[in-house]
Chains A and B, each alone.
Chain A
Amino acid sequence: MEGPADILPSTLKKSVVDAKLLLVGAGGIGCEVLKNLVLSGFKNIEVIDLDTIDVSNLNRQFLFQRQHVGKSKAKVACEAALGFNPSVTLKAHHDSVMSQEYGVNFFKGFTLVLNALDNRAARNHVNRMCLAAQVPLVESGTAGYLGQVTVIKRGVTECYECQPKPAQKTFPGCTIRNTPSEPIHCIVWAKHLFNQLFGEADPDEDVSPDTADPELTGDAAGSAALSEPAREDGNVERVSTRGWAAQNDYEPRKLFRKLFNDDIRYLLTMDKLWQKRRPPTPLDWDTLPDAVAGSSSSSASDSSLSDQRLWPPAECAAVLERAVGRLKEQLAARPAGDHLVWDKDDENGMDFVAACANLRAHCFGIRLNTRFTIKSMAGNIIPAIATTNAIIAAMVVFEAFKLLEGRLDDCKTVYLNRQPNARKRLLVPCVLEKPNPKCYVCAEKPEVTVRLDVSQMKLQALEERVLKAALNMVAPDAELLDGRGTILISSEEGETAANAPRTLAELGVRDGARLRCDDFLQNYELIVNIVNSTELPDGQEFEVVGDASQLQPAAPAPAPADGEAGPSSADAGGSAAANGSGNGAGKATTTVDDDDDLVCLSEGEDGTGTDGEVPTATTTVGTPAAKRPAQSDQGTPPAKKRRALSGSESPEVIEL
């Protein structure tokens, strides 16, 4: 076996030795990339990751071991990599790459930046930093057996935000509160319930019956429902869920009675909802079934793991009782006014959500799920294995080599597929796309159009939900281009605080207004064109439209965060199930939280066109989804093809 010194051409070898790299993320892909870099002869690498090590990382993040659980990923990864080659210079930052410390000048200090991230917000941010610093970026992601690598260079290729990404799936509030029909609706409800009882209560996450359900408007709305004093936001006037629970000392049976009996009976009075639906059944604590009706034996087979067993409703109630007791203690142990934060890896919080989701599903005649499955859905877990990460990490370094040799023209977007495509390729290289001239990030003078109701939206919501959450700014300034340069938002502490609770209309923002928004950290200036709209679909608070020409009536409604919601087809290697982070009022949300998810860019296959099919948007909801080349053999049994091959006894060489 030969070392890298014997394999790399001498010019490349010199570039490798001289290069200074930034590796963003020391998780599944990051560990593999760092190993490859050190073994390839790179001498100067900085690694940044804000995360700490968890047991569930150890099946693939091979630089970490059990004794490292709880420690900084960046630090432990660098220490381990030094063991491969003590002569390299590694610097670890246990920090968020979005922190103010890492400005454009920091990024300018690197020859290349390699992303090994697990979330879209950080990818967007690093994308902007690299565009501003004019440093080439190698972007990568994996999900299960699938993976992707691409190269981003300002002015030459598409940037990470040139193409709208399918929005993370959200659900209308009334589906969650009144008429769930899928397990995910019950799971989202249960997470909201957790926040109402123990977490940071969000008015958009109400769990009680919603009398403002659009289905109820009109004469035939449930008479009983209307006889209750309802506030204009549709919530029956009463003490908060938290207050009610505290008054009742979080007594599990009282909670159960309210949630799964009283509230369900109340829903039944809204008879219009049940004309075409199966009405829910109120539950009684003492008469819950202790066997699962029609449970499939497969899920119950591995009965030694509680996670894998389907809990009958009576067991759900018992788990709920135990979890509420413990969560109450956890909450009491906090300072007054503080709250708990739901985490899929917290035993009690997860038990609570699994039990409540299943009890609600039982009310509504929706199939129950194991705690294992509910955890996937509630935590947006993306499955991950070492092998996929290793393959993608190798491709990351190959692209880095090409960049160092100045061969940007040869750089590719590479997709790793689950099965070889029609041309027997498992790894499919595609040409890099040109920048989108209308991209609201990398265009010369970026502009974006936002539809919202100026008389409803407060300036604070514009800052938090539009500029920060949807448009991914970190610390924006905003100026109204009204000829006077009115400053609406200043990133200086307190300067414009008085504006925060005022509506945009009160501040002089009208239909057609232009706002100059600027993020100093990202060195990013964006003109936001306001289109006043009182009628947004699904009760959304606002809508970001990349380009105003998309505002034609026939155009499909773009989704709030990043663009169009793609059709959700689940082949993307994921059991990772529905839900994601959204932003409109009354929308059910959860956030993506796991390693190594999939990046998304579009492609055209290697100059020869795709396999005659339109690329399909494959969405693992909750993760940034990917557009992949449509595999013409995806729907057909692969065995058939391969059998034909082996029949002719030709060697099975799959070109990578």
Chain B
Amino acid sequence: MKTQLGRMVTFESGDITEEEAALYDRQIRLWGLDAQKRLRSARVLLIHMGGLGAEVAKNLILAGVKSLTMLDPNPVTSSEASCQFFVPSEQIGANRAEVSVERAQRLNPMVSVTAEKTPSTELTEEQVARYDVLVATGCPDSELTRLNALCRRRGVLFLAGDVYGFYGFMFADLGRHEFAEEVPVLARPSGEPAQKRPRTEQPESRTVKRTLQFTPLEDALGVDWNAEDRRKTLRRTSDVYFIMRVLQAFRAEEGRRPLATSADTDAARLLALRDSLKGLPTDKVGDAFTR
């Protein structure tokens, strides 16, 4: 996890302990000790503790990050009590992040789990810069774009996601991302006959450095799909990208997601939004998604 934009997540405080090695054994066998050390030094800010936030928190805490700060100004609602598994059912009305701490912490005592009630819209660049990674859920496009820009300026890795019933998306801006990848190497030609070669050779693989340059969310959302040179990309772009734009717009306006219980009125509103969104190629979004 290196970025040129800013800091890389660096090693801290020496080696993995025996206790950590036992707990993380099955994942160290997957991604290696170095990756586990990097995870252990990563400070993560997670915005909004709905159902998706809880899933993200679970997987990060289990993986063994250094700290997870759950940020959410909202109270628990009744329907949440049954779908956000960190929230005890009797806690309706309490702050979503604060009531999640206890159960989240139980998943892994080695991770520092805390809650904050600040609305994400009040997060400053300095506050964002205290983290290595920011994960935003449940935010409108405008807020995601703002947070992404703050992260870019301070070299904080930015991840975003949301779910709407059976639809969902995730977005990543890791800036200029350098990483190592192990690639298999074909057996090296050798002059010696096979049976004389020493039998000490490892199955050949070598590690190569790769670089990815990520696109900020603002650019990803700002594509002019009517431009001539976009035609080909458009054909290859998933319908879900466009459906998500409509769904995000719906929630930004209505302050809630579309519901099965108000399906008819919501469907009409969604179609109106689809037709009003500037530059949206309507043929990519049929009427069926509103169901």
Contact = CB atoms under 8 A, between A and B. Distances in A.
Interface string B167-183: 01101100000000101
Contact of A305 (B15, B89, B165, B202): B15
Given A386-B58, A646-B212, A650-B223, A39 B85 contact: yes
A7 B52 CA distance: 15
A304 interface: yes
Contact of B200 (A41, A365, A386): A365
Interface stretch (B75-83, B117-125, B275-283): B75-83
**What bracket does the count of chain A residues touching chain B fall in?**
35 or more
A573 B88 contact: no
A1 B168 CA distance: 13
A340 to B, nearest CB: 22
Nearest to A57: B26
Interface in A1-23: 1-10
A106 to B, nearest CB: 29
Q: Tell me if A's interface is mostly helix, strand, loop or mixed.
A: loop
A383 B240 contact: no
A277 interface: yes
B212 A307 contact: no
A9 B260 contact: yes
A6 B259 contact: yes
Contact of B33 (A4, A144, A308, A364): A308
Given A84-B85, A386-B62, A56 B79 contact: no
A59 B15 contact: no
A7 B58 contact: no
Interface string B22-41: 11111101100100000000
B155 interface: no
Contacts of B214: 646, 652
A647 B211 CA distance: 12
A180 B5 CA distance: 51
Contacts of B273: none
Interface string B89-112: 100000000000001001111000
B26 A60 contact: yes
B202 A302 contact: no
Given A59-B25, A62-B58, A62-B62, A302 B79 contact: no
B82 A3 contact: yes
Contact of A387 (B17, B59, B106, B212): B59
A491 interface: no
Given A55-B23, A366-B200, A302 B33 contact: yes
Most buried by A among B24, B85, B240, B241: B85
B210 interface: yes
Interface in B208-227: 208, 210-215, 219-221, 223
A5 B199 contact: no
Contacts of A390: 55, 58-59
Contacts of B259: 2, 6-7
B257 interface: yes
A571 B77 CA distance: 45
Contacts of B79: 1-3, 5-6
Interface string A217-241: 0000000000000000000000000
**What bracket does the count of chain B residues touching chain A fall in?**
35 or more
B198 interface: yes
A56 B23 CA distance: 5
Contact of A649 (B26, B215, B237, B257): B215
B88 A83 contact: yes
Given A305-B16, A651-B241, A59 B85 contact: no
A460 interface: no
A367 B200 contact: yes
Contacts of A642: 212
B18 interface: yes
B241 A653 contact: yes
A167 B21 CA distance: 32
Interface string A351-378: 0000000000000111100001000100
A375 B262 CA distance: 56
Interface string A30-67: 00000100010100000000000001101110100110
A362 to B, nearest CB: 11
Contact of A55 (B22, B106, B184): B22
Contact of A181 (B14, B77, B82, B199): B199
Interface of A: 1-10, 35, 39, 41, 55-56, 58-60, 62, 65-66, 83-86, 144-145, 181-182, 276-278, 294, 302, 304-305, 307-308, 364-367, 372, 376, 381-387, 390, 398, 424, 570-571, 573, 575, 595, 637-639, 642-643, 646-656
14 contacts: A3-B78, A58-B108, A62-B62, A145-B30, A302-B15, A304-B15, A367-B200, A372-B29, A386-B58, A386-B63, A637-B183, A639-B210, A647-B213, A653-B169
9 tightest Cβ-Cβ pairs between the two chains A and B: A3-B79, A1-B50, A383-B30, A651-B220, A639-B210, A383-B29, A367-B200, A655-B238, A304-B15
Given A10-B260, A376-B29, A386-B59, 9 more contacts: A1-B138, A39-B51, A39-B85, A59-B63, A278-B195, A305-B21, A372-B29, A385-B27, A648-B233
